[in-house]
Amino acid sequence: MSEGVLRRMVWADMSAEARSRLLHRGLDDIFDPELRRSIGELVDDVREHGDAAVCRALARFDRIDLEPHQLRVSADELARAAVSPEVDAAIDDAITHLRAFNERLLERASDWSFESEPGLVVGEKVTPITSAGLFVPSGKASYPSVAYQLGVPAVVARVPRIALVVPPVPGGAGEVDPAVLVVCRKLGIEQVFRVNGPAGVAALGFGTESIPRVRKVVGPGSPAVTCAQVEMQRHGVATMMLLGPTESVVVADATADPRLLAADLLIEAEHGTDSAVVLVTTSVDLADAVDVELARQLAALPVVRADAARASLGVNGGCVFVDDLVAAAAVANAYAPEHLQLAVADDAVDATLELLVDAGEILIGQHTPFSAANFVIGCPASLPTSGFAQVSSGITAETFLKRTAVARADARALARMAPSVLALADHEGFPAHGNAIRERLGS
């Protein structure tokens, strides 16, 4: 095996400890004791002092001094926000696709009922949550894509009250990324606040003099932002687990184009030195060709992106060799990545796809790169990381819906169920449960 960008591992030869190290990512930074202590203090400060604490966090962490009355983005600022015609058209394109995807989801998430036995009708009533808070990161780059990936599902779900927080542009006087404001204007989101990330999460959870309290907070961010979301769960705020440092897995066989494969590996790899990218393949020759392409394409990236990619594909990820695609699917499921691409022969796609069950998204073929899904395709792109794809899903309209069970029994159905209810009530020692039945039956 030649040396290259990719750290190389053979799954069959890896010890349990080595496998665990590969699969374990993201959580140590998020749950670092010192970070948890620091975020806990910040959360308590926001709970006790509201806007004043939010402004303190902006001054301390973002070096931006604002007064409480300046936290909310004004209607005039929203109206004046502008981007280039090309970016404006791209945002419209993305919103159109996201609306279509989420509106179809909403159609499938409708009320339902059926008669489970004569006289007993059961079902569910589906309604939106009352309020939602959206966190959009800033700092490393401009992220209008995050704003619409979170905002469109909430709007389509008809959440009555939506608030969005976004850190101000670094080095400015409190300005907010205009691209994010353009998204908010297009979606009709009027409650927008310039707030430091962790403090913003706390402010949304508690409510302050300026920032409304919401019941659910979602949005990707740094370990500090994610830690703040976890901390707010102790205070009764619903959050998503977890939207941390980005990660991707590509499952490929010898038929994959190494040039395209390298390009696709670099998509998520360039995000940061905490990202993780893994190629799972049956072919050493393919890995060698990909390494050559990676070196060539890395040379064309800005230094900061190239350094991030080398960490993502090296110490954080790499190439895992397997004997066949069945083993490849098993590795991918164990990893449970945020993003997964399948780059295999056409006649192997269906069988391999059938085996893949744990991933935030699955993109099929080399004409479906992660960047297209991140920006335009319309499937959710705010996805669970750190293995949580094994138990949770991406942010869609369903994230902002709740289901309430509904049942109606007539006298005939209740009389039929009565012996079972009485037997269980007596067995578990709840006489009032049984008496409610006996009063109706006169026994």
Among 247, 338, 361, 398, the one annotated catalytic: 338
| Predicted pLDDT of residue 1 | 41
Is 339 catalytic? The answer is yes
Domains of the chain and any CATH numbers: 8-26+245-378 (3.40.50.1980), 30-239 (3.40.50.1980), 410-441 (no CATH)
Q: Let me know how long the chain is.
A: 443
Q: What is the predicted pLDDT for the residue at 140?
A: 67
Nearest to 219 by CA among 166, 271, 291: 166
pLDDT tens per residue across span 350-393: 999 999 999 999 999 999 999 999 999 999 999 999 999 999 99
Check if the beta carbon of residue 138 is closer than 8 Å to that of residue 170.
yes
End-to-end CA distance of the chain: 81
Identify the segments of the chain with pLDDT beneath 50: 1-2
112-117 and 339-343 as β-strands: parallel, antiparallel, unpaired? unpaired
Q: In whole angstroms, give the CA distance from residue 71 to residue 229.
A: 20
Contact assessment for residue 207 and residue 371, using Cβ atoms and an 8 Å cutoff: no
- pLDDT, one tens digit per residue, over 327-343 is 999 999 999 999 999 99
Strand order in the sheet with 131-135: 191-194, 161-166, 131-135, 216-218, 238-239
Over the stretch 123-140, which tens digit does the pLDDT of each residue have?
999 999 999 999 999 876
120-128 and 112-117 strand pairing: antiparallel
Residue tagged active-site, from 270, 293, 339, 361: 339
C-alpha torsion sign, points 139, 140, 142, 146: negative
CA distance 126 to 105: 12
- Structure pTM? 0.92
User: Is 398 in the active site?
Assistant: no
